[in-house]
Structure 1
Amino acid sequence: MDQLSFSDAEYSGKRKQTRREKFLGEMEQVVPWSRLERLIEPDYPKAGNGRQPYPLATMLRIYFMQQWYSLSDPAAEDALYEI
């Protein structure tokens, strides 16, 4: 259900932000995502007859998270399932 209850609304303002959330919030503002996407986009796979590729913005952020947190491919996949 998408509708917030009164307790959800009250709790969301009091919840403490984790270090990871703070770091990712800062990186969202510091990293020039749109510029990087424009740079990579010409070489990024296009949709064809096969499986649809993930959006470039998503894959770029996953790659950066792997680098920042030293995650292997399987560890990054597990981290994404936990979100």
Structure 2
Amino acid sequence: MKQMRLQAPMYTGFELRTKRTRKREFLEQMERVVPWKELVALIEPYAPKAGPKGGRPPFAVEKLLRIYFLQQWFGLSDPAVEEALYDTPLLARFVGLDLGVDVVPDEST
């Protein structure tokens, strides 16, 4: 019987080598040039709030905005962006999701 080995599924910051991909460079540039705080301030008054009856709590506006931008930049549908957030740690980090803790918005969100 083979011994199972532990493998980190996500980028941990301790890798010896990482490649500067075009996607990584593009997202780093968008992090710098998109006025995230200003856009969130414009959208926040219209975002859904938690209702008095409970229900599913709404996601943070900035996370949903970042997901929307990813969809536009990379031509992803709602189901495709949900899968991409699970499959691509770079995209999950850009959105601000920690897959070990946070809930990824599903395609109907």
- Counterpart mapping for 1:18-33 below 5 A: 18-33=21-36
Aligned residue for 1:41?
44
Aligned residue identity for 1:20: K
Aligned amino acid, residue 39 of structure 2:
L
* CA positional deviation for 1:53: 1.0
Asked if residue 76 in structure 1 is aligned to residue 77 in structure 2, the reply is no
Using the TM superposition, give the Cα deviation of residue 18 of structure 1 relative to its aligned residue in structure 2, in angstroms: 1.2
Normalized per residue, the structure richer in helix is 1
1:55 maps onto 2:77 in alignment:
no
Normalising by structure 1, report the TM-score: 0.82
Q: 2:71 aligns with which of 54, 66, 71?
A: 66
Q: In the alignment, which of 17, 23, 40 is matched to residue 20 of structure 2?
A: 17
**Percent identity of the aligned residues?**
54
Q: Give me the whole-angstrom Cα distance separating, in 1, the residues matched to 2:83 and 2:41.
A: 28
Instruction: Determine the C-alpha separation between the residues in 2 that align with 1:28 and 1:15.
Output: 19
List structure 1 runs of 4+ shifted beyond 3 angstroms. Answer: none
Name which structure has the greater RCO, CA cutoff 8 Å, separation 6+.
2
Task: Report how many residues are paired.
Answer: 75
Gaps of 5+ in 1: none
| Structure 2 Cα separation of the partners of residues 17 and 53 of structure 1 | 34
1:34: Cα distance to partner?
A: 0.3
Structure 2, unpaired ranges of 5+: 1-11, 90-109
Deviations 1:4-58 (A, max 9, x none): 8xxx36x1xx422111110000000010000000000000011121101111110
